[in-house]
Chain A
Amino acid sequence: LAKTTQPISMDSYEGQEVNITCSHNNIATNDYITWYQQFPSQGPRFIIQGYKTKVTNEVASLFIPADRKSSTLSLPRVSLSDTAVYYCLVGDGMDSSYKLIFGSGTRLLVRP
């Protein structure tokens, strides 16, 4: 299972763009990259998933370079409500032994 490494915490201000990078040097060919967001006292919530290049949805963008050894979650114009913990996961969902293993995540604090 590919291990991921993320910064422990990040600070930002309202209205700024936030980029959180995740390192996954041992990612396998069939692995997808998935990001989750967690607020206090709630379960994690899916944000975005990608395999290569760039994926964008109404919440975020995910940038994946050609070697796929890292990925960057981009949150445009953050607000106070984006203060949360963000987790990066990699894995192959077709594999029946695929486990959802969460690392330590990145604690994002958005200040006024």
Chain B
Amino acid sequence: DVKVTQSSRYLVKRTGEKVFLECVQDMDHENMFWYRQDPGLGLRLIYFSYDVKMKEKGDIPEGYSVSREKKERFSLILESASTNQTSMYLCASSPRGTDTEAFFGQGTRLTVV
């Protein structure tokens, strides 16, 4: 059974803290993605990676960075968390090729207080 696992389901952090959200996939996929989803705004792409150590900005990269040191792991970093980063964060992975079915993790609901 294919799996994308996010390290936490719920997380509460204080303003100014450095926050790490981890995502691991076991499908040997080349592509990995980080999204945030807010009510009324849909899924917005923060960053994606198409290979180890490769990363590209999505639509809303400000305030975030990412790391992909190993193929199976893609980390999202909030350098200094702010209350406007309170959101649901979703990680996904997909293979490179014509079959682009993406698999999503269960999501991390982050609250910054």
Residue A13 at the chain B interface, CB threshold 8 Å: no
CB distance from B75 to the nearest CB of A (A): 18
Known: A94-B96, A98-B31. A34 touches B104 (CB 8 A): no
Interface size class of B (residues with CB under 8 A): 20 to 34
Interface of B is mostly: strand
27 contacts between A and B (CB under 8 A): A32-B98, A36-B102, A42-B107, A43-B90, A43-B92, A43-B104, A44-B102, A44-B104, A45-B104, A46-B101, A46-B102, A93-B97, A93-B99, A93-B100, A94-B97, A94-B98, A97-B50, A97-B56, A99-B45, A99-B48, A99-B56, A100-B45, A100-B94, A100-B102, A102-B42, A103-B42, A105-B42
Known: A42-B107, A43-B90, A43-B107. A96 touches B50 (CB 8 A): yes
Is A100 touching B106 in the complex (CB atoms < 8 A)? no
Taking beta carbons and an 8 Å cutoff, which residues of B are in contact with A? 4, 30-31, 33, 35, 42-43, 45, 48, 50-51, 56, 58-59, 88, 90, 92, 94-107
Q: Which residues of A contact B31 (CB under 8 A)?
A: 98, 100
Most buried by B among A44, A45, A51: A44
Q: Which one of B50, B58, B100, B106 contacts A91 once the chains associate, using CB atoms below 8 Å?
A: B100
CB distance from A93 to the nearest CB of B (A): 4
Give the A-B pair count, Cβ closer than 8 A. 73
Interface of A is mostly: loop
Is A93 touching B106 in the complex (CB atoms < 8 A)? no
Is A99 touching B58 in the complex (CB atoms < 8 A)? yes
Residue A101 at the chain B interface, CB threshold 8 Å: yes
Q: What residue of chain A has the Cβ atom nearest to residue B58's Cβ?
A: A99
Q: Which 3 A-B pairs have the closest CB atoms?
A: A43-B104, A93-B100, A102-B43
Interface size class of A (residues with CB under 8 A): 20 to 34
Q: What residue of chain B has the Cβ atom nearest to residue A36's Cβ?
A: B102
Is A100 touching B48 in the complex (CB atoms < 8 A)? yes
Known: A42-B107, A43-B107, A102-B42. A96 touches B51 (CB 8 A): yes
